[in-house]
């Protein structure tokens, strides 16, 4: 599926996002952060249906190691593609759109965390030019948004990958 349109989500998109991807509490939280200027929620659309999303976190990371070692570096978070649309380059298109947006905003680097056991995501990010940082995995908190609206915060370990957006643009 190469015919997707990627754009910044708006409040009016909430019903379609929830119908297609669930996670009402997650989307409400990201739209609230976006409204406050703390990030950008990008959504991939096929016709009038959301098929994936990624959140660009522009505010400081929660993890002290990231704030210390990557000050001011935005984070890509919560890249997802609906199950029936996976394997069609939509995740790649979302990441590339996010990187373009970050370049437009003047950012030179971007970082993200990958669960230690998520080989599929790690492979995608490496193919897109992300590299492991020179430090151990970081203890993070995973936010799990349940269908009933409950938010669960669980400890997690993530490998941090970083990409220099200037190098990517020069290619």
- The pLDDT value recorded for residue 170 is 56
Integer Cα distance of 19 and 60 in angstroms: 31
What is the arithmetic mean of pLDDT over 85-93?
A: 90
Q: Could you state, in order of their start, the residue ranges of all structural domains in the chain?
A: 5-170
The owner of tokens 């659309």 is: 45
**Which residues share a beta bridge with 154?**
142
Q: Distance of CA 87 to CAs 47, 92, 105, Å? A: 18, 10, 29
* pLDDT above 90 for 142: no
* pLDDT above 90 for 13: yes
The CATH topology of domain 5-170 is Aminopeptidase (3.40.630)
* pLDDT above 70 for 26: yes
């Amino acid at each position: 599926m190469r015919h997707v349109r990627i754009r910044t989500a708006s409040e009016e998109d909430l019903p379609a996002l929830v119908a297609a991807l669930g996670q009402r509490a997650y989307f409400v939280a990201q739209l609230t952060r976006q409204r406050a200027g703390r990030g950008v929620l990008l959504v991939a659309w096929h016709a009038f249906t959301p098929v994936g999303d990624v959140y660009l976190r522009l505010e400081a990371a929660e993890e002290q190691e990231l704030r210390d070692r990557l000050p001011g570096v935005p984070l890509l978070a919560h890249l997802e593609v609906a199950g029936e649309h996976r394997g069609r380059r939509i995740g790649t298109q979302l990441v590339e759109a996010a990187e373009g947006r970050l370049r437009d905003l003047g950012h030179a680097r971007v970082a993200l965390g990958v669960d230690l056991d998520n080989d599929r995501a790690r492979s995608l990010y490496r193919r897109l030019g992300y590299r492991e940082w020179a430090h151990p995995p970081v203890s993070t908190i995973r936010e799990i948004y349940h269908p009933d609206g409950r938010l669960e915060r669980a400890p997690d370990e993530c490998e941090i990958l970083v990409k220099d957006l200037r190098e990517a643009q020069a290619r």
